[in-house]
Amino acid sequence: MAENIFDIEFSDVLNTLVDGAIIIDAKANVAFFNNASSTIFGYLPEEILGQNVKMLMPEPFHSKHDSYIQNYQNTEVRKIIGIGREVAGLRKDGSTFPMDLAISETHVNEKLFYIGIIRDLTDRNAQKRKFDQLQEQHFHLSRVAAMNEMGTAIAHELNQPLAASVNYIETTRALLSHEINSTENLDEILIKATDQIKRASEIIARMRNFIERGEIEKTPIKLYDILDSSLRLASPAFKHLNVEIFIDIPKRPLLALGNDIQIQQVLVNLIRNAFEAMEDSEYRNLEIVIEPVKQKMIQILIKDSGKGLTSREMDNLFTPFSSSKSGGLGVGLSISRSIISNHGGQMWAEPNKNTGSIFGFTLPLADEK
């Protein structure tokens, strides 16, 4: 049948293709079925020629294909002809498979025909799934390796809330030893200790979540509230320094998109670093600036009047385990930068105008509903 319509030379050309080539007439009956199509679908040409091409399609396309052809011939609105897309094919053995289908139309002896070029995507999709699985395993192992290398960093992050809770409990013991009658102060201190223990628990939960999925929950957060709590957490150990604290924030509250616990971790770490940098300074001023910047971001600056940073310290500032502090682990800034980067922001350091350093970072501005 095919050679009565298409010349032998044309048929031979189509039979050399590695992709399937199927030609159907205006009624969707198969007029040509090349060798590659036989390999793909499992039918011999004599089994398929003259049959409706929908026998090569699984449901629901099998039942709807005739109407697709009729709609196109009536409206000439192209939904796949001349475009191509990935569809499902039906083999002789009843199995389905993904295939790339490109269709064009032509006329032979003034008769309308449609030519479909088919590429079996089974192997490609299988390779893609394998690659995706390997990539996911790689990401998982990378996260686990990162956490393994920074095991001491976990202790660093947990030390702040646990040390604070210990201080609160010790204060409670001291008050009890004086046989105080009022329990109001004791309740307040114990509540603070409980809050710190809860914070430590939340840090562990978020690290476990990072290892399992590498994801964090981000919600609109009030930066001033987090800054206030961070100052209360970081300040008690440095009360003896009598640091003057200046806070510059817009009158209109700014909402950032982020994880409140992780951003608090960053702020506590930077504020503690600023206090420590000013221990030997004559004048101790800490300025914290929160302001909107370009590209729908919020900028937070922590400015201290400490001794400043040497060029060597600046070069290794965010490198893990390179602390210049006596007994320092050198992981706080590295973790902080990773947190900010995971939030879509940036972290940097620069010299302050007169003396000291400025640590800054950005966070995405939350959409206002």
Taking 3-state DSSP, the helix, strand and coil percentages for the chain, each rounded to the nearest 5, stand at 50, 25, 30
- pLDDT range class, residue 6, cuts 50, 70, 90: low
User: How many CA atoms lie within 13 Å of 20's alpha carbon, on the beta-carbon side?
Assistant: 25
Q: What are the pLDDT digits (tens) for 218-242?
A: 899 999 999 998 898 888 878 889 9
Q: What are the pLDDT digits (tens) for 32-56?
A: 999 999 999 999 999 999 999 999 9
CA dist 114 and 107 (Å) reads 9
- Write down the pLDDT at residue 3: 45
CA dist 119 and 21 (Å) reads 9
CA dist 238 and 11 (Å) reads 88
- Write down the pLDDT at residue 210: 56
Q: What are the pLDDT digits (tens) for 151-193?
A: 555 666 676 777 777 777 877 777 777 765 566 677 777 787 7
Residue 138 pLDDT > 70, yes or no?
A: no
3 state SS of 59: coil
- Write down the pLDDT at residue 326: 47
The model scores a pTM over 0.85 = no
Q: What are the pLDDT digits (tens) for 299-333?
A: 999 999 998 888 888 877 877 655 555 444 455 78
368 versus 263: the higher-pLDDT residue is 263
- Write down the pLDDT at residue 270: 93
157 versus 102: the higher-pLDDT residue is 102
CA dist 138 and 143 (Å) reads 9
Point out which residues pair with 87 in neighbouring strands: 99
Assign residue 64 a region (left: φ > 0; alpha: ψ between -120 and 50; beta: otherwise). alpha
- Write down the pLDDT at residue 185: 73
Highest mean pLDDT among 4-8, 29-33, 197-201: 29-33
CA-atom Rg of the chain in angstroms: 34
- pLDDT range class, residue 247, cuts 50, 70, 90: very high
Q: What one-character DSSP code corresponds to residue 29? A: B
CB 284 within 8 A of CB 337: no
244-262 as b/e: b if 16+ CB within 10 A: eeeeeeeeeebbbbbbbbb
- Write down the pLDDT at residue 145: 55
Q: Looking at residues 335-355, what average pLDDT do you find?
A: 89
CA dist 360 and 321 (Å) reads 21
Q: Are strands 85-90 and 30-33 parallel, antiparallel or unpaired?
A: unpaired
CA dist 298 and 151 (Å) reads 31
3 state SS of 216: coil
Residue ranges, comma separated, of all CATH 3.30.565.10 domains in the chain are 216-368
Residue ranges, comma separated, of all CATH 3.30.450.20 domains in the chain are 10-121
Q: Where are the beta strands (DSSP E) in the chain?
A: 20-25, 30-33, 85-90, 96-108, 111-120, 219-222, 244-248, 255-258, 285-293, 297-304, 347-351, 357-364
3 state SS of 175: helix
CA dist 326 and 261 (Å) reads 27
Q: Looking at residues 250-257, what average pLDDT do you find?
A: 87
- Write down the pLDDT at residue 117: 92
- Write down the pLDDT at residue 329: 40
* Mean model confidence pLDDT for the chain: 82
Domain at 216-368: CATH code: 3.30.565.10
In DSSP notation, 100-166 reads EEEEEEEEETTEEEEEEEEEE-HHHHHHHHHHHHHHHHHHHHHHHHHHHHTHHHHHHHHHHHHHHHH
* Fold exhibited by the domain 10-121: Beta-Lactamase (3.30.450)
- Write down the pLDDT at residue 38: 95
Q: What are the pLDDT digits (tens) for 106-119?
A: 888 888 899 999 99
Virtual torsion, Cα 277, 161, 203, 332, nearest 10 deg:
20
- Write down the pLDDT at residue 369: 55
Of 101, 102, 115, nearest in space to 6 by CA: 115
